Amino acid sequence: MRLAIIGAVLLAAGGAAALFGVVPAADFGALVERVAPILVFVAAMTVVTELVSEAGLFQLMARRLRKWGRGSSVLLWLLVSAAACVTTIFLSLDTTAVLLTPVVVTLARQAKLPPLPFVLTTVWLANTASLLLPISNLTNLLAQHAMGGITPLQFARLMLAPALVAIIIPLAFIAVVFRKDLARKYQPPLDAAPQNVPDRVLLYGSAGVLAVLLVMLVSGVPVWVPSTGAALMLAVIFAVRRRAVLSPLLVPWSLLLFASGLFLVMETAQHLGAPALLSALSGQGDDAGELLRLAATGMVGANLLNNLPAYLALEAVAGSPLRLAALLIGVNAGPLITPWASLATLLWHDRLQKMNVLISWKGFAVFGLLVGPLTVLAAVAALALTAG
């Protein structure tokens, strides 16, 4: 409810700005055209996640991971970390936030382990591991185009060292801070397959739909298309097998309202001079100090506004591929402090709320203030060293 109220206030403020001409009609139309597919993707993926969870697939996946962990919390955490990296790199950070989070929460509950180190790993890697490939993050796709349309392999070669560092730093932090939790043992299941599955048709049907969806998400088709198709297919299956589950409440109305208001307010901020301010702070050169200055500006902009508008505001002043890479470090690996810094973080928190896992934004911000700047600093250093 609180998220919906904030979203309504943001939407009203942004709507007033558009009404009084702060945001020109043409720019408002362009914003709707850009944002609508994102919101459709969010809504569809949330419905997919809810229905797949209802079918018991996440419980099955969590049980498999728990068996592979062999009773070691450290090994289990490393498996979760690997899964978060793979899904982020090949399926995008938003997919990780939506699909992996419920698996991780279920996993921690089954193993009777504290969920915090596992869910923090998921959201941090969803952001920081998104540096490697163009498909990992929308900002990467925009930067790839600005770099002259370089190939995914060339992009990965440029971003490999920063991406590795951006993965290692958050993991090292969690390994140190949560070392007592990760040293615990748990009881692995005797069998990877759950017993007494209520409806195998729902389980296997949902698994099939999800498998096709994951393939389609990397096919080059706009992601809102396969996600919407998957949501409709699952709705049909549930309409036949378990109609009572289908409800308008499956759609994350509060999150959609908040995201819509946030995007509109961010557009207003751009017309009120935010890009000029960020550009003045971003520097010009390609040496390590100037690259760090640009990345830091991107990180601050992402945490104040959101990573997408922060990238768009700074893209023009970045210029060279090397500076664009530094900007990506700031807007991808840096938004670990505020909840609105990336859509993936909002999706992650929405999943946690629906699974009754309470995370304090204050605590999240404190950890982020430690990890975010350190990650950006180390990743820029890696970029400067490998580029030189």
Report the C-alpha gap between 142 and 337 in whole angstroms: 23
Report the C-alpha gap between 90 and 27 in whole angstroms: 32
Does the pLDDT of residue 262 top 80, yes or no? Answer: no
CA count, 13 A, side-chain hemisphere, 25? 0
- Regarding predicted confidence, which is higher, 192 or 35? 35
Report the C-alpha gap between 307 and 128 in whole angstroms: 12
Q: Are 291 and 383 in contact (CB under 8 A)?
A: yes
Q: Are 129 and 167 in contact (CB under 8 A)?
A: yes
Nearest CA among 319, 360, 379 for reference residue 116:
360
Tokens of 211: 């498998």
Q: Are 206 and 246 in contact (CB under 8 A)?
A: no
Integer angstrom CA distances of residue 359 from 3, 149, 203, 326: 14, 40, 30, 30
pLDDT in tens, 230-259: 999 999 999 998 888 898 988 888 878 877
Q: For the chain, what percent of residues have pLDDT higher than 70? A: 95
Tokens of 371: 């990890």
Residue whose entry in the numeric block shows the structure tokens 């790839």:
144
Q: For the chain, what percent of residues have pLDDT higher than 90? A: 40
Query: What letter does residue 263 receive in the DSSP assignment?
Result: H
- Regarding predicted confidence, which is higher, 340 or 122? 122
Query: What letter does residue 194 receive in the DSSP assignment?
Result: P
Query: Residue type at 124?
Result: W
- For the chain, what is the mean pLDDT? 87
Tokens of 296: 């830091």
Distant-in-sequence, close-in-space partners of 144: CB < 8 Å, separation ≥ 6: 134, 150, 152, 155
Report the C-alpha gap between 215 and 91 in whole angstroms: 9
Q: Are 4 and 257 in contact (CB under 8 A)?
A: yes
Residue 139 — very low, low, confident or very high, per pLDDT cuts 50/70/90? Answer: confident
Q: What angle do CA 16, 22, 23 make, to 5 degrees?
A: 90
Does the pLDDT of residue 280 top 80, yes or no? Answer: no
Q: Are 233 and 52 in contact (CB under 8 A)?
A: no
For the residues 359-388, what does the mean pLDDT come to?
Answer: 93
For the residues 200-218, what does the mean pLDDT come to?
Answer: 86
For the residues 350-355, what does the mean pLDDT come to?
Answer: 88
- Regarding predicted confidence, which is higher, 297 or 4? 297
Distant-in-sequence, close-in-space partners of 224: CB < 8 Å, separation ≥ 6: 37, 38, 40, 41, 44
Q: Are 48 and 234 in contact (CB under 8 A)?
A: yes
